[in-house]
Amino acid sequence: IEVLPQKDQIPSTVFSVRNTSTDPVRVRVSTVNWNMNERGSASFIEKPIPFGLSGMLRFNPREFVLPVGSTQVIRLAGIIPKD
């Protein structure tokens, strides 16, 4: 997901999640910090890092049950630190 904020606006977008299974599904949206090396391999960072995006992103709704065949729109907003 790429978001290009306008001046003086909170960067935000929406995306959809659809349940194509035969059972209801509990969905929990979360983030994780990671690095990519020069060969393109990702490594996940388990501890919080200064200036990592995980602490700057908000989702709504963050957790929900998605019935069979349903779609849920999720709003993603970035919180830009003042410093």
Q: What is the pLDDT of residues 51-69, one digit of tens each?
A: 777 778 899 999 999 999 9
Q: For residue 75, give the nearest of 23, 10, 19, 24 by alpha carbon.
A: 10
Q: What confidence score (pLDDT) does residue 9 get?
A: 67
Query: pTM of this prediction?
Result: 0.72
What is the DSSP code (8-state) at residue 31? Answer: -
CA angle centred on 37, ends 32 and 39, rounded to 5°: 130
User: Which residues touch 41 (CB under 8 Å, ≥6 apart)?
Assistant: none
